[in-house]
């Protein structure tokens, strides 16, 4: 039997096109994953009903909208997410300090924690250069992470490859949420900066986002349980 704390650190993305498909995944895997992530595709299709469905299963909801707008709009959207009762909400660190501070103030006193997206795990150094960001991904992540935490954001979304650098730079306080997690031998898909669960936890990750290696497995329940047991073995629960 896996521990509750280990289960609560596994985030399963509901990257599906409709509420019925999401409900099927939630029903199948709510005993294995403590957090379900509602992203742009599902929220565009189903809206707040997707969040409600996660809550009906007794699970925490991670609303992954990556807000990036003017301060007033971001603050209003963050406040609306807090009313929905989401546990985590993403904003883009690149929105700037004013918008980040406004968003943090909007959810103050609620149970919603804001997570700043730094550099997407689908981007490597060449792609960063193509959009005009100089330096390595780690340098860009560290710069944006400092900006976000200084603005009062609770946590960060980063790849496992930046976890150690962020812990050294920012200490133990920020919540580090790491997508691009791939068990040893799994396909990388469109992720460029990946790691195994054990590697990510050793470098300071708090929550692990694991999608396709679970959803596309022949036995999704067994795949999820294997990752939660790996979290336990890492000794970081």
Residues marked as catalytic: 66
Q: How far apart are alpha carbons 182 and 211 in whole angstroms? A: 9
* Virtual torsion, Cα 51, 56, 57, 58, nearest 10 deg: 90
Question: How far is Cα 19 from Cα 46, in angstroms, rounded to an integer?
Answer: 6
Tokens of 33: 């994953």
- Mark out the alpha helices in the chain (DSSP H runs): 4-7, 19-29, 40-46, 48-56, 71-84, 97-106, 125-130, 137-150, 160-170, 197-202, 212-215, 220-233
């Amino acid at each position: 039997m896996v521990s509750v704390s280990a289960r609560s650190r596994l985030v399963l993305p509901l990257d599906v096109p409709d509420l019925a498909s999401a409900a099927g995944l939630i029903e199948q895997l709510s005993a294995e994953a403590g957090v379900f992530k509602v992203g742009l595709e599902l929220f565009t299709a189903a809206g707040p009903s997707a969040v409600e469905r996660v809550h009906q299963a007794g699970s925490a909801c991670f609303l992954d909208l990556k807000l990036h707008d003017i301060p007033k709009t971001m603050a209003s959207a963050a406040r609306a997410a807090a009313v929905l009762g989401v546990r985590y909400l993403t904003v883009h660190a690149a929105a700037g300090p004013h918008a980040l501070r406004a968003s943090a103030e909007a959810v103050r006193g609620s149970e919603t924690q804001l997570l700043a997206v730094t550099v997407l795990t689908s981007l490597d150094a060449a792609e960063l250069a193509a959009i005009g960001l100089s330096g390595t991904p780690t340098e860009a992540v560290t710069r944006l992470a400092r900006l976000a935490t200084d603005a009062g954001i609770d946590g960060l979304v980063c790849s496992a490859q930046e976890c150690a650098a962020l812990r050294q730079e920012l200490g133990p306080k920020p919540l580090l949420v790491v997508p691009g997690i791939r068990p040893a031998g799994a396909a990388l898909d469109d992720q460029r900066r990946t790691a195994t669960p054990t590697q990510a936890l050793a470098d300071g990750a708090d929550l692990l986002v694991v999608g396709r290696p679970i959803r596309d497995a022949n036995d999704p329940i067994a795949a999820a349980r294997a990752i939660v047991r790996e979290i336990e073995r890492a000794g970081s629960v």
